């Protein structure tokens, strides 16, 4: 297992992408930074993380040996590997807020940014994971938390990264064996607000209500609206408010 450790970098996802463009890298190669100066989140957001307190890393995985029709399974595998890791640490009330925010007791403790790259006709994913570990102050982020805030314990970041990578290896094996149903069922068992009345906002800012039912194979959120209409949404079309 190759883990590149950096003191400071703009973004581990960007660094790993450059590494992949300049040399050949093996599956599960990871880049870990103590401090990210321009951490990137989903939908162009910024990922802020206190230096040396949290886990900010990216891992490389080629996808050529999978009969993979749907890139969303990389997201499923990643969410499940993080949840498995956190369960062994007895972090309570874990859920996945679609597509891949990991929550404990409804607070966000981990974000994931997956970027797909291609070289010599081989698809690969750069899987970026930001896990709040030992940070205890989250200014202006009332919905954020950390392993320390939840459990009162301090965690070793180097141990965590190894456990997450090992769990990712296990779940990627299931994906290689085409256990799509097993993976999707496990993912949906953690889906935040599944079957609960929820309020959403669409791209035009209009609020509406419905029940989260499941995710499609392509990763769209399936919501049961009034009049029993089941509609699918992608990330740009919908925000879950509560």
**Binding of residue 135 to ligand BTN (CB under 6 A):** no
Q: How many residues bind ligand BTN (CB under 6 A)?
A: 20
Query: Is the distance from CB of 16 to CB of 58 less than 8 angstroms?
Result: yes
Q: What is the rounded CA–CA span in Å between residue 8 and residue 33?
A: 6
Q: Does 58 bind ligand BTN (CB under 6 A)?
A: yes
The stretch near ligand BTN (CB under 6 A) out of 18-26, 71-79, 109-117, 142-150 is 109-117
Reported as half-sphere exposure (CB side, CA atoms, 13 A), residue 153 has a value of 9
Q: How far is CA 9 from the centre of its chain?
A: 20
- Shortest Å, Cβ 50 to ligand BTN: 12
Of the candidates 53, 59, 101, 233, which one interacts with ligand BTN according to CB under 6 A? 101
The verdict on 42 binding ligand BTN (CB under 6 A) reads yes
Instruction: Please say which residue, 41 or 232, places its beta carbon nearer to ligand BTN.
Output: 41
Residue 45 binding ligand BTN, by CB under 6 A: yes
Residue closer to ligand BTN (CB basis): 15 or 73? 15
DSSP 49-101: --TTTSEEEEEEEE-TTS--S-THHHHHHHHHHHHHHHHHTT--SEEEETTTE
Which residues from 4-23 bind ligand BTN, rule CB under 6 A? 11-13
- Tally of CA atoms within 13 A in the half-sphere of 110 that contains its CB: 31
To 10 degrees, the CA torsion angle through 30, 31, 32, 36?
Answer: -140
Report DSSP state, residue 144. B
Residue 47 binds to ligand BTN (criterion: CB under 6 A): yes
Least distance in angstroms from the C-beta of 75 to ligand BTN:
11
Q: Does 130 bind ligand BTN (CB under 6 A)?
A: yes
Chain residues in the site for ligand BTN (CB under 6 A): 11-13, 36, 39-42, 45, 47, 56-58, 101, 111-113, 128-130
């Amino acid at each position: 297992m190759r883990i590149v450790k950096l003191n400071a970098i703009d973004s581990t996802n960007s660094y790993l992408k450059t590494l992949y463009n300049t040399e050949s890298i093996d599956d599960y190669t990871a880049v870990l930074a103590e401090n990210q100066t321009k951490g990137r989140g989903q939908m162009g957001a910024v990922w802020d993380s206190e230096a040396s307190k949290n886990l900010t890393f990216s891992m490389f995985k080629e996808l050529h040996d999978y009969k993979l029709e749907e890139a969303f399974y990389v997201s499923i595998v990643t969410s499940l590997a993080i949840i498995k890791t956190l369960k062994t640490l007895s972090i309570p009330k874990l859920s996945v807020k679609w597509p891949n925010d990991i929550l404990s007791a409804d607070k966000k403790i981990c974000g994931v940014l997956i970027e797909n790259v291609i070289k010599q006709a081989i698809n690969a994913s750069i899987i970026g994971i930001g896990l709040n570990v030992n940070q205890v102050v989250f200014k202006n982020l009332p919905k954020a938390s950390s392993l320390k805030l939840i459990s009162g314990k301090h965690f070793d970041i180097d141990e965590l990264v190894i456990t997450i990578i090992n769990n990712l290896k296990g779940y990627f094996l299931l994906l290689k064996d085409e256990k799509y149903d097993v993976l999707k069922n496990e993912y949906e068992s953690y889906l935040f607000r599944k079957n609960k009345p929820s309020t959403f906002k669409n791209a035009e800012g209009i609020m509406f209500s419905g029940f989260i039912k499941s995710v499609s194979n392509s990763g769209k959120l399936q919501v049961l609206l009034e009049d029993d209409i089941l509609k699918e949404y992608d990330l740009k079309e919908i925000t879950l408010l509560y």
